[in-house]
Amino acid sequence: AQSVTQLGSHVSVSEGALVLLRCNYSSSVPPYLFWYVQYPNQGLQLLLKYTSAATLVKGINGFEAEFKKSETSFHLTKPSAHMSDAAEYFCAVSDPNFNKFYFGSGTKLNVKP
């Protein structure tokens, strides 16, 4: 069975600081991994995805994530936070054998001026 753990339900950074949002997964097979962002009163939007190609994945809005099999992690980073990055971020894993997506509980990112 697949599962996702996001460490830290709330993360606060200053504008211009590094953003690091943590995601660890559990999977019995090599997974596909995704990061989504949710702004208030909106649906989830895809930031980036890992589907067994390059382990460092670049996404939209300057975000990137690195797949580390040995650590079963897929942390999301951005070198310099903008005020517009304030939102909730969800990590998701899907099982290549089944068409199911498992979402983490989300991390709310607050960006301070």
Partner 1 sequence: DAGVIQSPRHEVTEMGQEVTLRCKPISGHNSLFWYRQTMMRGLELLIYFNNNVPIDDSGMPEDRFSAKMPNASFSTLKIQPSEPRDSAVYFCASSLTGTSNSPLHFGNGTRLTVT
Give 32 or 78: the residue with its C-beta nearer to partner 1: 32
Say if residues 25 and 4 touch (Cβ distance below 8 Å): yes
What minimum distance in Å lies between the beta carbon of 71 and partner 1?
22
3-state helix, strand, coil in the chain (%, to 5): 10, 50, 40
Among 15, 64, 66, 95, binds partner 1 (CB under 8 A): 95
Say if residues 2 and 27 touch (Cβ distance below 8 Å): yes
43 binding partner 1? (CB under 8 A): yes
| Angle at 104 (CA atoms; ends 103, 105), nearest 5 degrees | 120
Give 17 or 44: the residue with its C-beta nearer to partner 1: 44
Binding site for partner 1 (CB under 8 A): 32, 34, 36, 41-46, 49, 51, 90, 94-101, 103-106
